[in-house]
């Protein structure tokens, strides 16, 4: 999600694991729902409303039963498929880099914020470290600080992890409705059926709505990340500075 994910091996770690596992389930449910929406959107776009309406008019009870069964089956299949995806974080990184870039901005803010624990001359040395090494250093800091249950509790209370989950879910929605809008535009040009213009307008509005929500959440998370890191550095300045100096020296030696 961000560089502030940090599992640790004790009672606090088990609590953290349960928390992040619940968040992971939330994001997989969101991904499964949008996958279901995508399949339904493709069906409506290229098959049209008329066959669906005819099916409903023939037998509403049967239609309700079949529709409910199909929706449940497709959702469970989509959730199972997303649960089998390994490296979901890599998918997130790719989508964010391709569409928005808030994750990189957040990671830069995290490292820059942690550097404020050092003296100015030390900061000038640290900024020359590669982005990958900066990420490793930031991860090591949060891994060590995670043994302090108060830090984890403060992060949970801030809601930053949950806001990142909703950010990723709105990114899914933006991607899905943007693709469906493109497909429905093709259907409009091909005049597949009379209702397709309404479908196109609806999908286009939903894509814009998701885009707006994603941007709002992204900018909000940038501001929240800065506040959270500043708070951690303020309360653990000496520990952060010590870990930074050790890691910066190690990475410089390896060069």
Q: What is the pLDDT of residues 1-32, one digit of tens each?
A: 444 444 444 546 677 777 777 888 888 888 87
Burial class (CB in 10 A: 0-12, 13-18, 19+), 134: buried
Q: Are 32 and 79 in contact (CB under 8 A)?
A: yes
Domain membership of residue 5 (yes or no) is no
The predicted pLDDT at position 215 comes to 95
Tell me whether residue 3 is in a domain.
no
Full-model pTM = 0.78
Q: What is the pLDDT of residue 26?
A: 83
Q: With pLDDT > 70 as the criterion, what percentage of the chain qualifies?
A: 71
| Residue 248 maps to a domain | yes
181 CB-side CA count, 13 A: 17
Q: pLDDT tens for residues 166-183?
A: 999 999 999 999 999 988
* Distance in angstroms (rounded) separating the CA atoms of residues 61 and 57: 10
Of the chain, the end-to-end C-alpha distance in Å amounts to 29
pLDDT of 70-122, one tens digit each?
666 666 665 566 555 556 667 778 888 888 889 888 888 988 888 888 888 77
Please indicate, yes or no, if residue 170 is contained in any of the structural domains.
Answer: yes
User: How many domains is the chain partitioned into structurally?
Assistant: 1
Collapse the DSSP code of 100 into the 3-class scheme (helix H, G, I; strand E, B; otherwise coil) and give the result. Answer: coil
Question: Between the CA of residue 215 and those of 25, 163, 168, 227, 236, what are the distances in Å?
Answer: 23, 13, 11, 19, 31
- Domain limits at 151? 11-254
Q: Does residue 138 sit within a domain?
A: yes
Helix axes 131-145, 237-254, angle to 10 degrees: 140
Q: Is the residue at 35 inside a domain?
A: yes
Indicate whether 6 belongs to any domain: no
Q: Give Cα 73 distance to the centre of its chain.
A: 25
Q: Nearest Cα to 139, choosing from 97, 165, 111, 172?
A: 111
Is 152 buried (19+), middle (13-18) or exposed (0-12) by CB count in 10 A? buried
For residue 4, is it within any domain? Answer: no
Query: In sequence order, what are the residues at sequence separation of 6 or more whose Cβ sits closer than 8 angstroms to the Cβ of residue 100?
Result: 171, 214, 215, 218
């Amino acid at each position: 999600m961000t560089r502030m994910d940090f599992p640790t091996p004790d009672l606090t770690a088990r609590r953290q694991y349960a928390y992040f596992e619940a968040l992971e389930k939330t994001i997989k449910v969101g991904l499964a729902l949008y996958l279901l929406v995508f399949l339904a959107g493709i069906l409506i776009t290229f098959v049209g409303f008329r066959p669906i309406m005819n099916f409903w008019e023939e037998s509403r009870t049967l239609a309700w039963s079949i529709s409910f069964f199909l929706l449940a089956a497709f959702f469970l299949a989509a959730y199972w498929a997303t649960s089998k995806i390994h490296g979901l974080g890599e998918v997130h990184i790719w989508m964010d880099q391709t569409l928005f870039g808030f994750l990189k901005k957040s990671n830069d803010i995290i490292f820059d914020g942690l550097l404020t624990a050092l003296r100015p001359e030390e900061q000038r040395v640290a900024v020359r470290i590669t982005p990958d090494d900066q990420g490793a250093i930031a991860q090591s800091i949060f891994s060590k600080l995670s043994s302090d249950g108060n830090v984890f509790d403060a992060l949970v209370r801030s809601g930053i992890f949950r806001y990142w989950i909703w950010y990723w879910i709105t990114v899914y929605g933006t991607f899905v409705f943007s693709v469906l809008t493109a497909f429905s535009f093709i259907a409009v040009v091909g005049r597949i059926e009379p209702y397709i213009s309404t479908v196109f307008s609806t999908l286009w509005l939903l894509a814009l709505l998701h885009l707006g929500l994603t941007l709002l959440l992204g900018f909000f998370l940038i501001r929240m990340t800065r506040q959270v890191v500043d708070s951690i550095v303020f309360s653990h300045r000496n520990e952060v500075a010590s870990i930074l100096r050790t890691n910066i020296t190690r990475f410089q030696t390896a060069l």
